[in-house]
Amino acid sequence: MMSDRVKAYTGLFLLVMSMLVAGAAPAQRPVKAAKHTAVKQKITAQEPDGLQQRAYFVQTLIKIGDPVLQALSKGELKKNMPVEAATVATDRSRYTYLEALGRLLSGMAPWLELGPDATAEGQLREKYIKLALAGIKNATDPGSPDYMNFNKGGQPLVDAAFLAQALLRAPVQLWGRLDETTKANVVRELKSSRVILPSQSNWLLFSAIVEAALLKFDNSGDRMRMDYAIRMHMNWYKGDGAYGDGAAFHWDYYNSFVIQPMLVDVTRTLTEAGFKDERINTLVMTRAQRYAAVQERLISPEGTYPPIGRSLAYRFGAFQSLSQIALLHQLPSEITPQQVRCALYSVIKNQIEASGTFDQNGWLRIGIYGSQPGIGEDYISTGSLYLCSVAYLVLGLSPDDDFWKKPNAEWTQKKIWTGKDMPADHAIKN
């Protein structure tokens, strides 16, 4: 039986969704363009509680993903999606559509995996599960106008990997509900990406997670590719929770965009398949927990964070690792779930409401805060931007989870910069 709190949340959610269907955002918390003004403090005693924040997370994830999935489900993604690119030197239309699909579903998957139920949110999940299934079908069907490139050039390996990760994150609702022909098509396309040679960098993990999905769903994964990627990242570990991107250290967010989450998902898949390596598993999780703790400390009292390194156009996707560790109930003991919730809410709200984040038809535009084309590197195009969705992994936690039910809490920098006493921070040794 639902608690009074969950009933209240369901009522709120019905109101939010009815207004969305009517074409309007909720009056109290609209998702609309905001002027480029100094960012103000977002989380106060008057701010929405956890279940209201969840409704906002769902609302904004749908705003991001709806144009992609609606078009792709009809076989009209290539027809309708713009291809904004930082440079015209390369034709990003060869890659951008698979980027949009793989990256979007990688972030949406844990929410979709909760499956349909009688609540307003559960019915909404069913809608987007069906759209995603239709999209995967069209993306892998050679007869579809939206048939995608999985093996020509280097880039398709990256986004075959994100699609594989999405399937691993929603094995019941995404993989399990595909028809048999589409399952065979997906396996064929994932295998076709093997012709792409990954560089000695985080790209090894793209090969590894494709093989992890093939291991789980087709029993054909190449363990050598998985093991090699893991071992090389063990060699590239720099300390205190951070890996090198290859042999060199890069001060950017690739530990969160790719390295930590894919190491976690690959090792979990291997363990589920009976190939358990307790020492490696412990190292991977301990380091991921430390990195998540550092990420939480990077979020300012105003919900901003350092714009360091490349690929900043992935926006709040920079916090995938923190969101994943919260989803897995593996947060370090000094970090409460509700402080992560409030911190992520503040970051997402700041960026998604910035003027210029979306074009007039609802497609994402290049930038970290609004439209900033100069932020994009030569590999960035419209489809690339949907990696922002991985900040929403926490939506895979049910509304009854403490992550959503506990009272609002200040995150680390909010505590420190209001003078509260805090224990010292320390590096980990392994």
Q: What is the per-residue pLDDT for 47?
A: 82
> Within its chain, how far is the Cα of 344 from the centroid?
12
pLDDT at 33: 42
In three-state secondary structure terms, 95 is coil
Residue type, 97: Y
How far is the C-alpha of 165 from the C-alpha of 20, rounded, in Å? 29
Tally Cβ neighbours within 10 Å of residue 124: 19
- For 299, the 3-state DSSP assignment is coil
Residue 241 lies in a domain: no
Does a structural domain hold residue 98?
Answer: yes
39 in helix, strand or coil?
coil
Collapse the DSSP code of 364 into the 3-class scheme (helix H, G, I; strand E, B; otherwise coil) and give the result: strand
- pLDDT score, position 123: 98
Q: Where are the beta strands (DSSP E) in 209-270?
A: 237-239, 242-243
Give the per-residue pLDDT at 11: 52
Q: Where are the beta strands (DSSP E) in 185-327?
A: 237-239, 242-243
The answer to whether residue 84 is domain-embedded is yes
- 230 lies in some domain: no
Is 109 among the domain residues?
yes
The answer to whether position 210 is within a domain reads no
Residues of the chain with pLDDT under 50: 1-2, 6-8, 10, 14-16, 18-45
Closest CA to 163 of 251, 104, 82, 89: 104
- Give the model confidence (pLDDT) of 292-328 as tens digits: 999 999 999 999 999 999 999 999 999 999 999 999 9
Q: Is-contact 387 101, C-beta < 8 A?
A: no
Q: What is the DSSP letter of 247?
A: S
First to last CA, the chain: 45
Kindly state whether residue 123 falls inside one of the protein's structural domains.
Answer: yes
pLDDT score of 55: 98
Domain for residue 47, yes or no?
yes
In angstroms, rounded to a whole number, what is the distance separating the alpha carbons of residues 46 and 11? 20
pLDDT for 88 equals 66
CA-only gyration radius of the chain, Å: 20
The residues, any chain, with a CB within 8 Å of residue 317's CB and separated by 6 or more, are: 107, 256, 257, 387, 388, 389, 390, 391
Task: Report the candidate in 304, 340, 348 with the shortest Cα–Cα distance to residue 321.
Answer: 340
DSSP 40: P
**Given this model, what pLDDT does residue 44 score?**
46
pLDDT at 241: 97
| Cβ atoms < 10 Å from Cβ of 40 | 9
Range of the structural domain that residue 169 is part of: 31-196+298-416
**Do residues 201 and 246 make contact, with C-beta atoms less than 8 angstroms apart?**
yes
**Which residues share a beta bridge with 237?**
243
What does the alpha-carbon distance between residue 393 and residue 261 come to, in Å, rounded to a whole number? 11
Tokens of 285: 């999780």
* CA-to-CA separations, 397 to 174, 185, 202, 413, in angstroms, rounded: 17, 30, 28, 25
Domain count, the chain: 1
Residue from 108, 155, 94 nearest 136 by CA: 108
